[in-house]
Chains A and B, each alone.
Chain A
Amino acid sequence: MDNKTLRNMLIGLAVLVILTPLGLLAIGETFGEWGNEELKDKIGYVPEGMEKISSLWEAPLPDYALPGFENFSASAIIYIISALLGVAICGGLLYYWGRRVTRDRPD
């Protein structure tokens, strides 16, 4: 990949990162991703097994948000930071791994 294409793709990615808060505007539910309370509203109970393992893991930034910072501008900033973390960690890991395994390859 030539440098110009790489640069343009990085610019494209940066624009997407800045625009990610648009994704916060979508209000609605996603099928099969209801929280326990939402499911209780739907069917009147929370299945027993689900209750046991649904809170198995506490993510540091649940749903790309920080609990307590709920107004739109704060959520937008945390959403962008989440996107940046995602880009840095996913991109960084694969870049590092890719460089290592292709160390001895000419192209």
Chain B
Amino acid sequence: MHVPDGYLGPHTYIPLWILMIPIWAYAARRLSEELRSRQVPLLALSAAFSFVIMMFNVPIPGGSTGHAVGGAIVGIVLGPWAAVISISVALVLQALMFGDGGITAIPANCLTMAVLMPFSAYYIYRIISGKSDILSSRRVAAAAVAGYVSLTLAAGATGFLFGIQPILEQDASGMPLYMPYGLNVTMPAMLIEHVLGFGFLEALVTALIFAYIQKADPSLLIGAMRGPRGNSASSG
């Protein structure tokens, strides 16, 4: 899902830069106001974990390879604004140092994997969890569903960005200038492999880590029970 340079034209990537810069700025401000000092190691770990989990390429039938992102579990445990920063740091480093994802495509990749994914995962998890006990298995299931759906949404959004390129960017003779495949190809391609394959991987990763935290230190999950603008005084 790491869009390389050259697949999105300037009519897509320039607006995405303009969209993402204030999102990053706002997320950094929110996080700097709300982060608790005991969450700092977890924040650092989350970015490191996301970086590493994305290196685990897994093949699926049909000859495609892909990976989990970790965006769902980070969104659920640390909250979506923290996840915006954490996953974006991992994605920017991947682009700059390892050429995984393009430089011009940084805001596209951050929008799908570092914004859409943790936010959708966070709200799906909260809706399914309802008022259930923090230790309940319903919450593990909620985390799994959140992982599955959020990765699929991110993949669909990537497919959409790919697919609008032939419409937005053509040369004088009507030839595509960037991603040559339209929505009729990109949407099914991105969705099918995530619905049938990588979504389950993200679900598994999310549920396993969630269940571990439930067992090891459920106090880390309390933050996820509050609204996005948590009141740090209530559980200090």
Contacts and interface: CB of A to CB of B under 8 A. Distances in A.
Interface residues of A, number: 66
A13 B52 contact: yes
Contact of A31 (B9, B53, B175, B189): B189
Contacts of A99: 37, 40
A103 B36 CA distance: 10
B236 A106 contact: yes
B195 interface: no
A54 B180 contact: no
B89 A10 contact: no
A72 to B, nearest CB: 15
Contact of B177 (A1, A5, A47, A60): A47
Contacts of B32: 101
Contact of A61 (B5, B37, B98, B236): B98
B7 A32 contact: yes
Contact of A62 (B39, B99, B220): B99
A6 B38 CA distance: 11
A4 to B, nearest CB: 8
Contacts of B55: 20, 23, 64, 79, 82-83, 86
A102 B193 contact: no
Interface of B: 2-7, 9, 31-32, 35-53, 55-59, 63-67, 85-86, 89-90, 93-100, 102-104, 158, 162, 169, 171, 175-180, 186, 189-190, 193, 213, 216-217, 220, 232, 236
Given A13-B49, A31-B186, A101-B31, 11 more contacts: A13-B48, A30-B65, A48-B171, A57-B102, A83-B52, A86-B93, A87-B51, A90-B44, A90-B50, A102-B36, A106-B236
14 contacts: A2-B217, A9-B42, A17-B52, A23-B56, A23-B58, A32-B190, A33-B2, A50-B6, A53-B6, A58-B99, A64-B98, A90-B51, A93-B89, A98-B43
